Structures are given as C-alpha cells and as structure tokens.
Amino acid sequence: MLKHEFSVDMTWEGCSKAVSRVLNKLGRTEFDLDLPINSINSEHSTNTLLETLGKTEKAHSYLGPKK
C-alpha cells in the first residue's frame, strides 16, 4: 500500500486530535501524526485525502508518495 506524506498546519495537540477525528471517519486509513509532518498510509486516493484534510480547515499540502 502506498504511503502519502502531507504537511498540515497543526500548532497544538487539539489540532492533531481534530485531524485524527476527520481521518478516522474515512475507515481503512492508518496514519502517524506529529506536529510538523503527517504520514498517511491509505487505500484512498490522494484527492480523497486532500478533500478530507480540507474539512479540518487547517492549511495542508501534499508532499508526495512514500514507499
């Protein structure tokens, strides 16, 4: 499964919890969050992940695939 790397503007733990809640709603998504960089391992498309991250209203960008 392809691992995608995203940057999400998270400044405190509450931000990371909000991002986690939104990603958990996708199902079949594993992710590792740390405040500066987020790695997401998912069966979902990059577009779906970007759309989902957009629901957090946090600035985010796709950094590229990781193997």
Identity at 49, one-letter amino acid code: L
Is residue 50 within a helix (H) or strand (E), and if so which, with residue range? Answer: helix 46-54
Q: How confident is the model at residue 26 (pLDDT cuts 50, 70, 90)?
A: confident
DSSP E strand boundaries for 1-67: 3-8, 29-33, 38-42, 60-66
- Euclidean distance between CA atoms 33 and 20, whole angstroms: 8
Domains and CATH numbers, the chain: 3-66 (3.30.70.100)
How is the beta sheet containing 3-8 ordered, strand by strand? 29-33, 38-42, 3-8, 60-66
Q: What is the pLDDT of residues 28-54, one digit of tens each?
A: 777 877 766 677 777 788 899 899 999
Q: What is the pTM of this model?
A: 0.77
